[in-house]
């Protein structure tokens, strides 16, 4: 079993509900055990302007799936939620990013872990810290220290305990 952190994001078609359903979908995978779920956040979009605010959250899972099999499973859930890949950094119904996979460092064509922008995104760090206050990255950096550098501007809690809605 490997402990994995997944970040969830949505800014289309009832984002809060998209995330809640996505948590249920992840929990339903036979090779996955859900071991933590963050608060639900609303956050200002990073990237192109003029897109709706995002809902963001994170989960911790224990899984026997290898990284690329887990990526396949996450992309299948994204596709089930009607995700269409169009504009780079544009609006999306559901984004499921593998942030950390144990202490592994993965740099393959399809997958980079730790997620290459986790250290600069408060909408990833805030929910991660809900479920893992002492979280340390494979390179030894503390998630709490990274959030202190980034700050919490543009992000707010909308619900504390899962199920959020």
What secondary structure letter does DSSP report for 136?
B
Site size toward ligand ROI, by CB under 6 A:
11
Pick the closer one to ligand ROI by CB: 30 or 153: 153
142 DSSP 8-state letter: B
Residue 46 or 144: the one with the smaller Cβ distance to ligand ROI is 46
Instruction: Give the one residue of 5, 9, 12, 38 binding ligand ROI; rule: CB under 6 A.
Output: 9
3-state helix, strand, coil in the chain (%, to 5): 30, 30, 40
The 8-class DSSP code of residue 40 comes to E
Task: Map residue 46 onto helix, strand or coil.
Answer: coil
**Distance between CA atoms of 102 and 133, rounded to whole angstroms?**
16
Among 28-36, 46-54, 61-69, 101-109, which window interacts with ligand ROI (CB under 6 A)? Answer: 46-54
* Min CB(88)–ligand ROI separation in Å: 8
**Candidates 45-53, 69-77, 105-113, 131-139 — which segment interacts with ligand ROI by CB under 6 A?**
45-53
Residue 54 touching ligand ROI (CB under 6 A): yes
3-class DSSP state for residue 157? strand
Q: Which is nearer to ligand ROI, 38 or 43 (CB)?
A: 43
Of the ranges 32-40, 41-49, 62-70, 98-106, which one interacts with ligand ROI (CB under 6 A)? 41-49
Residue 52's Cβ-count burial label (10 Å; 0-12, 13-18, 19+) is: exposed
Among 38, 39, 46, residue whose Cα is nearest residue 11:
46
Catalytic positions, please?
Answer: 83, 92, 95, 97
Residues near ligand ROI (CB under 6 A) = 9, 43-47, 54, 56, 89, 95, 123
């Amino acid at each position: 079993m490997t402990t994995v952190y997944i970040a969830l994001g949505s800014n289309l078609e009832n984002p809060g509900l998209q995330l809640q359903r996505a948590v249920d979908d992840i929990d339903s995978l036979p090779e996955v055990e859900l071991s933590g779920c963050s608060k639900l956040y609303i956050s200002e979009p990073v990237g192109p302007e003029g897109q709706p605010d995002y809902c963001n959250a994170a989960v911790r899972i224990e899984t026997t799936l290898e990284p690329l099999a887990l990526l396949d499973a996450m992309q299948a859930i994204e596709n089930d939620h009607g995700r269409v890949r169009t504009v780079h950094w544009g609006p999306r119904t559901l984004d499921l990013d593998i942030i950390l996979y144990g202490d592994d460092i993965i740099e393959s064509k399809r997958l980079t872990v730790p997620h290459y922008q986790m250290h600069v995104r408060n909408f990833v760090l805030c929910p991660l810290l809900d479920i893992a206050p002492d979280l340390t990255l494979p390179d030894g950096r503390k998630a709490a220290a990274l959030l202190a550098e980034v700050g919490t501007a543009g992000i707010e809690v909308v619900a504390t305990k899962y199920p959020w809605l």
